[in-house]
Amino acid sequence: MDTQLPTKRSVALIAVLAVASVSFLAIGIKAADDKKHAAKSDAAAVDFKDKGELLFNGTDLTGWRFADPGKAKIWSVVPVQLDPADKNKLAAVAETAAKPAGAMLRAHGDGTDIFTEKAFGDVQLHIEFMIPDGSNSGVYLMGQYEVQILSNFGKPDNKLGPGDCGGIYTIKAPDANPLKPYGEWNSYDIVFHAPRFDAAGKKTENARFVQVAFNGKVIHENVEAPHPTGGQLPGGEKAKGPLMLQGNHGSVAFRNIRITELEAK
């Protein structure tokens, strides 16, 4: 039987074709993966800033209570900016400056948490916040389950923990860190389901963060909170509870707090 050994040229050609095939396959996989991630990000973006009941009227603290009434004076309603003299503080906008709508300002110093008089179960929430450097606060759904607020601008996504800004405190780190520079307004858009209880009061389902978006970037989806996250109001888990804003740490300001009650399913 007559056979021919492959020449050096044919071997080289086969090698080139093999490398090209692998390269095209890798490019195709990467393109498909990029498309998948891009589609997920685009589809998941949420923004409830113009929807729901306005919990803060921009003028006073009607509808809110203090965990420690003796420290209530730490909170005020003023137009807010980053303190020009101290990057670790927020300050009221000077009387001579153009004054935007008032915000809930938790000033620098010894303070207390503030929470709504009204209680909620399943909700859709929009809230905007501003922090200086060196601050620490949080948004507590039902006064029990915290989405953290922390001054960690610029921290890489792969270094984030549950205690960083956007984290579900003690439970899950945020998927990204879109925190804006200190003195700028940020937003959370949250869809939250309260825990479920049977007729005897036994919990049958954990509380759940269906979705949390941070400045339009989804950072949590379908995250259960099997227990309060720490620093919560007394009384334990229940079917309904108030919205609480942490005020016993650093300076922070809030505005445009809107909530929509959802029908329990």
Read off the pLDDT of residues 118-142 as tens digits, 9 standing for 90 and up.
999 999 999 999 999 999 999 999 9
pLDDT of residue 231: 95
Q: What per-residue confidence (pLDDT) applies to 45? A: 54
Q: What is the pLDDT of residue 247?
A: 94
Question: What is the rounded CA–CA span in Å between residue 21 and residue 140?
Answer: 53
Question: b/e string for 26-56 if b means 16 or more Cβ within 10 A?
Answer: eeeeeeeeeeeeeeeeeeeeeebeeebeebb
- Return d(Cα 19, Cα 39) in angstroms, integer: 30
Look at residue 103 and give its three-state secondary structure. strand
pLDDT at 189 > cutoff 80: yes
255 alpha-carbon distance from chain centroid: 15
**Alpha-helical segments (H) within the chain:** 8-44
The pair of structure tokens assigned to 154 is: 């610029």
Cβ atoms of 253 and 149 within 8 Å: the answer is no
Predicted confidence (pLDDT) per residue in 24-57, tens digit: 334 443 344 333 333 333 445 566 666 789 999 9
pLDDT at 31: 41
Which residues on neighbouring strands pair with residue 65, listed in sequence order?
A: 115
Superfamily of domain 53-261, CATH level 4: Exo-inulinase; domain 1 (2.60.120.560)
Partners of 114 in the β-ladder: 66, 245
Residues 6+ apart with CB under 8 A from 18: none
The domain ranges of the chain are: 1-44, 53-261
The per-residue pLDDT for range 225-250, each reduced to its tens digit, is 999 999 999 999 999 999 999 998 88
